[in-house]
């Protein structure tokens, strides 16, 4: 069978595509475009499994024990990665069939298991790749089909020392590597005005004090690094900025072939990791974009190949290696949209934090699709999840006009090639709708000219291509009024936008078919930081929005992630222009290094770092024109302020307040406030500062709202046991707070209310973000109750031709002749099950899902309340929760019971996964399970162009999930999806759908 969930891995660079209309023809039969690697699992072992007294043979380690048990059962398997540390013991294993999965789960000592997922980085950013344009017709073309090439310096010889092991048990070898240190650009000096965003997070202040992160080790798990670049030290090994690392994949890994690892994490084919390394710690350079901690030591762990592909079991291995190499900080600028804190990467990230390692992760770039859509591992507990704030500047350059007019600002991070050129315009008429989209008849050879055209009528690429084919030395596109510029780079021709007023002036001074002009523009390396008056200092539209479905906060802080100039591999052009939380995260990782360097790496915990960053972050407004505060779901504590984090006005814990939903409302909260001063008594005053209440779902539609999510002023109120406290130097006190949720809100919109508890009186203002949901998360619909997006009622069965099945269809399971279940999730679910039942089965419950007429209230079955949402979380999570009967995690036991039709050990006990404790879940007369998945995010409306707008399950083989054959006969699909906070042992907590009948006729 094939499963296509279409939950592809997150795009690191944001897309700007509007929601795509759905068409049934988009559902491709047999196209498994989901992120799951078939038959491959990350499996956790009990570290003491091999010590069991039941063993007749004592194995050397738990790995040998598990493998021997598989071999004893004649189960074929392939081991891809092994994990052996105090954080995690287990392996990445491929199995031959679903039946083998049942065998693996049955082994004592297997305690948790998750499918391996494909991960991918986005397409490479701007580089010098040839654009496959034909050669210009004009012989005098300025570019003549040649892309600009990076400047390369002479080779240098570097000696590197590599050590393995820890402490006195290290073994070291010395190796000499010859590298080529590449120049940054042809500019002879650094600009007086550069493009660095560091001042926006106060890193410049900390660096000016002499703190540049010295003594801190940062592990960068990414696509490798071009350590030959001068800003990154120009060398690799002991004594270099990039002091070590490992390549886990090689250049040609696709996610489905075998990786080719080696000791050298060098990358000159992708560049993502080089940008990240530069944001963390580049030295100052021609574009004035140094990293946050240029004196920190970096280790590069390459897990993404030249195609930008990897699997999470390889990333898992790199995280363990970084831990073994004693990294103080680990940066993870990748992830996968899950909506939950649960994933194997999240589990390991949380364990890394618990072990004392600071973990920084990008929150993700799918903010366009709305709230409750967090990414893993960023949403893991204790991880610093970094969202993006819009840069306060637009990188640009200045060109000199021969008329004496003020310099012209043109928007490209690269300067045009040095030189002086006349101007040419096809028309001076601003009403021409497609200026530059078609080359006018009789147009001259433009090799002496910079072509100036207006925006609109066709793509920027088409305008640039036409100018290139006409031989132009460059092209300037006049932007529309009051519109932010768009950045494009074409390797065969210089391209940039200019503002509306400047553009009009240039056109008025240009040569045209009927006029002549002597006006020229002179270009040189002359960067300028243009103020971002459109979106500067607000949350980026692409930055992922939380909270998680289990109401954990993500992101926790912001850092600039748009309009970023990054260090790039020499082979790809030396510098590039990017946006994404991938590049916000390393600024925070570098800032965390400054914090550790200031406080001492052995004196603070990851919790201390997170607390300091959240307490002192700067809350951001919705936009430059709207001063109300952005929801905490989008910005966490706000934009990083590292100078104040190192020297806060107060130290407050916890760093964030999670109020849960209305069913498990945690109204009473406690704050511990410490006076960090050791010489002055201080009076601290507390105040509730509400942020916007975000309406996550559309009224009456049960569909999530896209970005920008509507915000309303309805706010929570807070009563303090003390609104003012007087603390002695170093003193601490506790303040009790009573929260009241906002009123006047429609719970069907799942309002996310939020704000800050602001503490003033110290040297600086500090605050703690809070967040809650004014609705019951268990009321959130899971299966799409409307035809609003798909245009049809779902779930439904698609037949062999891809059309909606009518009547009772018969399937032979030959070729593509099999049924497909098409469905869409409007809410996340901890558990999704698809079982087969007899077509004439008498169910023990009434399915509560009718896609033609349905409201949320119809599926709102109340069950016994728990004391808090945390109690419900512990029941549904699988990290450390063990069943008393056989030591397996709750999630794994659930899978085991499904595969054995509730006959496995532990499935029949009251309160076990089978749940015979008074409910009907285990009594449903299923014939067998064909699919199940845990912790699934909702589908989207594809507002970000990344897909994930529907899901499908293909019963492509007539077998159950445990590998046994499905007998010929007539069946129905029974799909059940567990509500958020639902009890997986209680049938009433599921949404259930029963399909039309179909016949298996092999």
Q: What is the pLDDT of residue 94?
A: 95
**Residue keyed to tokens 């042809």:** 186
What is the CB neighbour count within 10 angstroms for residue 336?
23
The enclosing H or E element of 42 equals: strand 36-45
Mean pLDDT of the chain: 85
Please tell me the distance from the alpha carbon of residue 291 to that of residue 213, in angstroms, as a whole number.
10
**Residue keyed to tokens 């222009």:** 577
Please tell me the distance from the alpha carbon of residue 708 to that of residue 685, in angstroms, as a whole number.
33
Q: What is the pLDDT of residue 882?
A: 36
Q: What is the pLDDT of residue 305?
A: 96
Please tell me the distance from the alpha carbon of residue 994 to that of residue 986, in angstroms, as a whole number.
18
For residue 648, which phi and psi values (nearest 5 degrees)? -80, 160
Active-site entry in 582, 584, 889, 956: 582
* 238 pLDDT higher than 90: yes
**Residue keyed to tokens 């056989």:** 886
Query: Poorest-confidence range of 129-143, 233-247, 791-805, 893-907?
Result: 129-143
Listed in order, the ranges of the chain carrying CATH 2.60.40.10 are 648-778
Q: What is the pLDDT of residue 920?
A: 65
pLDDT digits (tens, 9 = 90+) for 662-705: 999 999 999 999 999 988 999 999 999 999 999 999 988 889 99
Band (pLDDT 50/70/90 cuts) for residue 857 is very low
* Cα dihedral 946/952/956/960 (nearest 10): 120
Q: Which two tokens stand for residue 364?
A: 């993700």
- Mean pLDDT of the 113-135 span: 74
Please tell me the distance from the alpha carbon of residue 725 to that of residue 719, in angstroms, as a whole number.
15
The enclosing H or E element of 872 equals: helix 869-876
| Partners of 992 in the β-ladder | 976
Please tell me the distance from the alpha carbon of residue 454 to that of residue 88, in angstroms, as a whole number.
59
Q: Which two tokens stand for residue 702?
A: 């049960």
For the residues of 614-670, what is the DSSP string, one character each?
HHH-B--EEETTEEEEPPHHHHTT-B--HHHHHS-S-EEESSSEE---STT---EEE
In angstroms and rounded to an integer, the radius of gyration of the C-alpha atoms of the chain is 30
Please tell me the distance from the alpha carbon of residue 81 to that of residue 67, in angstroms, as a whole number.
13
Please tell me the distance from the alpha carbon of residue 779 to that of residue 116, in angstroms, as a whole number.
31
For residue 465, which phi and psi values (nearest 5 degrees)? -65, -45
> Quick one: which of 817, 840, 228 has its CA closest to 569?
228
Q: Do the beta carbons of residue 27 and residue 820 sit within 8 Å?
A: yes
Q: What is the pLDDT of residue 906?
A: 63
Q: What CATH number should be reported for the domain whose range is 206-389+533-647?
A: 3.40.50.200
The verdict on whether omega for the bond into residue 708 sits within 30 degrees of 0, i.e. cis, is: yes
Q: What CATH number should be reported for the domain whose range is 393-531?
A: 3.50.30.30
Q: Please indicate whether residue 918 or residue 423 has the higher confidence score (pLDDT).
A: 423
* 139 pLDDT higher than 60: no
Query: Poorest-confidence range of 138-142, 733-737, 835-839?
Result: 138-142
Q: What is the pLDDT of residue 915?
A: 42
Please tell me the distance from the alpha carbon of residue 167 to that of residue 171, in angstroms, as a whole number.
10
pLDDT digits (tens, 9 = 90+) for 778-794: 999 999 978 888 888 89
pTM: 0.89
* 541 pLDDT higher than 90: yes
Active-site entry in 46, 98, 100, 222: 222
* 256 pLDDT higher than 60: yes
- Mean pLDDT of the 887-893 span: 70
User: What sign results for the dihedral spanned by CA atoms 59, 63, 67, 72?
Assistant: positive
pLDDT digits (tens, 9 = 90+) for 730-769: 999 999 999 999 999 999 999 999 999 999 998 999 999 9
Q: Is 922 exposed, middle or buried (0-12, 13-18, 19+ CB in 10 A)?
A: buried
Angle at 921 between CA 916 and CA 923, to 5 degrees: 70
Listed in order, the ranges of the chain carrying CATH 3.40.50.200 are 206-389+533-647
Q: What is the pLDDT of residue 7?
A: 28
- Mean pLDDT of the 174-191 span: 39
> Quick one: which of 882, 833, 832, 885 has its CA closest to 44?
882
- Residue 9, classed as helix, strand or coil, is coil
- Mean pLDDT of the 105-110 span: 89
Please tell me the distance from the alpha carbon of residue 411 to that of residue 478, in angstroms, as a whole number.
11
Please tell me the distance from the alpha carbon of residue 603 to that of residue 596, in angstroms, as a whole number.
8
For the residues of 698-712, what is the DSSP string, one character each?
-TTT--BPPSSPPEE
Band (pLDDT 50/70/90 cuts) for residue 31 is low
Please tell me the distance from the alpha carbon of residue 14 to that of residue 33, in angstroms, as a whole number.
20
Give the whole-number percent of the chain exceeding pLDDT 90.
Answer: 71
Band (pLDDT 50/70/90 cuts) for residue 538 is very high
CB neighbours of 171 closer than 8 A, spacing ≥ 6? 163, 164, 165
Q: What CATH number should be reported for the domain whose range is 37-116?
A: 3.30.70.80
Q: Which two tokens stand for residue 113?
A: 């298991």
Query: Poorest-confidence range of 2-16, 87-101, 455-469?
Result: 2-16
Q: What is the pLDDT of residue 897?
A: 73
- Mean pLDDT of the 183-208 span: 73
Band (pLDDT 50/70/90 cuts) for residue 344 is confident
| Partners of 159 in the β-ladder | 176
SS3 content of the chain, % helix, strand, coil (to 5): 15, 30, 55
CB neighbours of 44 closer than 8 A, spacing ≥ 6? 88, 89, 90, 110, 111, 112, 113, 889
| Strand segments (E) across 691-819 | 693-695, 711-712, 717-720, 724-727, 732-740, 751-760, 766-773, 796-798, 809-811
Q: Which long-range contacts (CB under 8 A, 24 or more apart) does 906-910 make?
A: 909/885
- Mean pLDDT of the 437-444 span: 92
Annotation marks residue 979 as catalytic: no
Band (pLDDT 50/70/90 cuts) for residue 189 is very low
CB neighbours of 952 closer than 8 A, spacing ≥ 6? 4, 5, 6, 27, 798, 820, 821, 822, 823
Please tell me the distance from the alpha carbon of residue 294 to that of residue 206, in angstroms, as a whole number.
12
Q: Which two tokens stand for residue 890?
A: 């709750």
Q: Please indicate whether residue 920 or residue 345 has the higher confidence score (pLDDT).
A: 345
Eight-state DSSP code of residue 315 = H
Orientation of helix 606-616 relative to helix 581-599, angle to 10°: 110
| Partners of 537 in the β-ladder | none
> Quick one: which of 266, 247, 281, 248 has its CA closest to 178?
266
Listed in order, the ranges of the chain carrying CATH 3.30.70.80 are 37-116
Tally: H helices and E strands in the chain? 14, 49
Please tell me the distance from the alpha carbon of residue 609 to that of residue 615, in angstroms, as a whole number.
10
pLDDT digits (tens, 9 = 90+) for 604-640: 999 999 999 999 999 999 999 999 999 999 999 999 9
Q: What is the pLDDT of residue 919?
A: 53
Query: Poorest-confidence range of 91-105, 398-412, 527-541, 542-556?
Result: 91-105
Angle at 463 between CA 459 and CA 465, to 5 degrees: 110
Q: What is the pLDDT of residue 946?
A: 86
Q: Do the beta carbons of residue 222 and residue 561 sit within 8 Å?
A: no
- Mean pLDDT of the 227-241 span: 97
Active-site entry in 50, 63, 80, 272: 272
Q: What is the pLDDT of residue 167?
A: 34
Annotation marks residue 582 as catalytic: yes
| Strand segments (E) across 312-392 | 329-332, 336-337, 358-362, 375-376, 384-389
Q: What CATH number should be reported for the domain whose range is 648-778?
A: 2.60.40.10
Annotation marks residue 272 as catalytic: yes
* 298 pLDDT higher than 90: yes
Please tell me the distance from the alpha carbon of residue 538 to that of residue 626, in angstroms, as a whole number.
10
**Residue keyed to tokens 């934090």:** 353
> Quick one: which of 132, 277, 190, 175 has its CA closest to 569?
277
For the residues of 47-106, what is the DSSP string, one character each?
TTGGG-TT-SS--SSHHHHHHHHHHHTT--EEEEEEEESSS-EEEEEEESSHHHHHHHHH
CB neighbours of 277 closer than 8 A, spacing ≥ 6? 220, 222, 225, 232, 242, 291, 298, 300, 567, 586
Q: What is the pLDDT of residue 9?
A: 29
Q: What is the pLDDT of residue 185?
A: 37
Q: What is the pLDDT of residue 863?
A: 24
Please tell me the distance from the alpha carbon of residue 510 to that of residue 423, in angstroms, as a whole number.
5
- Mean pLDDT of the 370-395 span: 96
The verdict on whether omega for the bond into residue 588 sits within 30 degrees of 0, i.e. cis, is: no
Orientation of helix 890-899 relative to helix 98-106, angle to 10°: 130
């Amino acid at each position: 069978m094939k499963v296509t969930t279409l939950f592809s891995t997150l795009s690191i660079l944001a897309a700007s595509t509007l929601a795509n209309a759905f068409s049934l023809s988009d559902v491709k039969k047999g196209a498994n475009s989901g992120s799951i690697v078939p038959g491959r699992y990350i499996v956790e072992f009990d570290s003491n499994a091999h010590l069991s007294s039941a063993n007749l043979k004592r194995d050397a380690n738990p790995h040998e024990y598990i493998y021997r048990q598989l071999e004893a059962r004649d189960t074929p398997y392939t081991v891809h990665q092994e994990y052996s540390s105090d954080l995690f013991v287990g392996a990445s294993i491929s199995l031959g069939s679903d039946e083998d999965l049942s065998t693996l789960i049955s082994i004592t000592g297997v305690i948790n298991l998750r499918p391996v997922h494909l991960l991918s980085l986005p397409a490479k950013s701007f580089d010098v790749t040839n654009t496959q344009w034909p050669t210009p017709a004009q012989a005098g073309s300025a570019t003549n089909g040649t892309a600009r090439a990076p400047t390369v310096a002479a080779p240098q010889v570097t000696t590197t020392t590599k050590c393995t092991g820890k402490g006195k048990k290290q073994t070291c070898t010395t190796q000499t590597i010859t590298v080529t240190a590449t120049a940054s650009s042809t500019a002879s000096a650094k600009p007086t005005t550069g493009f660095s965003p560091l001042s926006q997070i106060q890193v410049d202040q900390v660096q000016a004090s002499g703190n540049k992160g010295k003594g801190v080790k940062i592990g960068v798990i990414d696509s490798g690094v071009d350590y030959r670049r001068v800003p990154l030290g120009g060398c690799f090994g002991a004594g270099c900025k990039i002091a070590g690392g490992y390549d886990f994949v090689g250049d040609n890994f696709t996610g489905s072939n075998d990786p080719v690892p080696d000791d050298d994490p060098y990358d000159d084919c992708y560049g993502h990791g080089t940008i990240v390394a530069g944001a963390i710690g580049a030295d100052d350079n021609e574009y004035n974009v140094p990293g946050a901690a240029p004196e920190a030591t970096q280790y590069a762990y390459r897990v993404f190949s030249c195609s930008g592909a990897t699997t999470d079991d390889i990333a898992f291995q790199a995280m363990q290696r970084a831990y073994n190499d004693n990294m103080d900080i680990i940066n993870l600028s990748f992830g996968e949209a899950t909506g939950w804190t649960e994933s194997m990467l999240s589990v390991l990230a949380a364990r890394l934090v618990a072990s004392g390692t600071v973990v920084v992760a990008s929150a993700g770039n799918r903010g366009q699709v709305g709230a409750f859509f967090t990414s893993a591992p960023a949403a893991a507990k204790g991880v610093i999840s970094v969202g993006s704030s819009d840069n306060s500047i637009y990188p640009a350059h200045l060109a000199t006009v021969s008329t004496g007019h003020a310099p012209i600002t043109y928007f490209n991070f690269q300067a045009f090639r040095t030189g002086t050129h006349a101007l040419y315009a096809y028309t001076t008429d601003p009403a021409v709708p497609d200026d530059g989209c078609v080359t006018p008849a009789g147009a001259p050879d433009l090799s002496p000219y910079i072509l100036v055209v207006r925006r609109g009528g066709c793509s920027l690429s088409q305008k640039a291509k036409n100018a290139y084919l006409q031989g132009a030395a460059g092209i300037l596109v006049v932007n529309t009024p009051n519109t932010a510029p768009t950045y494009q780079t074409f390797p065969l021709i210089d391209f940039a936008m200019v503002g509306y007023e400047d553009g009009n002036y240039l056109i008025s001074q240009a040569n045209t078919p009927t006029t002549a002009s002597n006006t020229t523009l002179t270009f040189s390396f002359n960067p300028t930081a243009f103020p971002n008056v459109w979106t500067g200092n607000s949350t980026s539209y692409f930055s992922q929005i939380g909270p998680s479905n289990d109401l954990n906060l993500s992101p926790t802080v912001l850092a600039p992630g748009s309009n970023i100039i990054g260090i790039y591999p020499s082979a790809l052009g030396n510098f590039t222009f990017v946006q994404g939380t991938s590049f916000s995260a390393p600024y925070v990782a570098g800032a965390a290094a400054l914090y550790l360097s200031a406080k001492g790496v052995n004196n603070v915990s990851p919790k201390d770092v997170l607390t300091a960053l959240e307490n002192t972050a700067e809350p951001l407004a919705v936009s430059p024109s709207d001063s109300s505060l952005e929801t905490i779901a989008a910005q966490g504590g706000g934009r990083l302020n590292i100078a104040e984090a190192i020297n806060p006005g107060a130290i407050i814990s916890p760093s964030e307040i999670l109020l849960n939903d209305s069913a498990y409302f945690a109204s009473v909260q406690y704050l511990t406030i410490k006076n960090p001063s050791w010489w002055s008594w201080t009076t601290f005053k507390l105040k509730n500062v509400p942020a916007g209440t975000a309406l996550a779902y559309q009224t009456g539609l049960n569909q999530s709202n896209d970005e920008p999510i509507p915000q309303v002023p309805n706010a929570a109120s807070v009563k303090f046991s003390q609104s003012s406290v007087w603390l002695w130097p170093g003193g601490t006190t506790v303040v009790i707070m009573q929260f009241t949720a906002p009123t006047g809100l429609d719970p069907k919109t799942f309002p996310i209310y939020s704000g800050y508890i602001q503490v003033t009186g110290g040297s600086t203002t500090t605050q703690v973000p809070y967040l809650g949901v004014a609705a019951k998360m268990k009321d959130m619909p899971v299966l799409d109750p409307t035809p609003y997006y798909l245009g049809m009622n779902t779930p439904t069965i698609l037949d062999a031709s891809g059309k909606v099945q009518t009547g009772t269809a018969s399937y032979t399971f030959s070729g593509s002749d099999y049924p497909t279940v098409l469905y869409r999730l409007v809410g996340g679910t901890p558990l999704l099950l698809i079982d087969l039942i007899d077509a004439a089965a008498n169910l023990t419950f009434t399915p509560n899902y009718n896609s033609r007429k349905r409201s949320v209230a119809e599926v709102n079955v109340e069950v016994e309340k728990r004391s808090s949402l945390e109690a419900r979380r512990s029941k549904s999570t699988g990290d450390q929760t063990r069943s008393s009967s056989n030591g397996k995690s709750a999630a794994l036991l659930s899978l085991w019971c499904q595969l054995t039709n509730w006959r496995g050990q532990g499935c029949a006990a009251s309160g076990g996964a089978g749940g015979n404790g008074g409910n009907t879940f285990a009594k449903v007369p299923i014939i067998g399970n064909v699919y199940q998945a845990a912790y699934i995010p909702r589908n989207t409306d594809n507002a970000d162009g990344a897909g994930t707008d529907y899901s499908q399950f293909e019963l492509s083989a007539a077998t159950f999930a445990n590998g046994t054959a499905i007998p010929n006969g007539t069946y129905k699909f029974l799909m059940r999806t567990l509500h958020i906070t639902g009890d997986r042992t209680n049938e009433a907590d599921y949404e259930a759908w029963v399909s039309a009948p179909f016949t298996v006729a092999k």
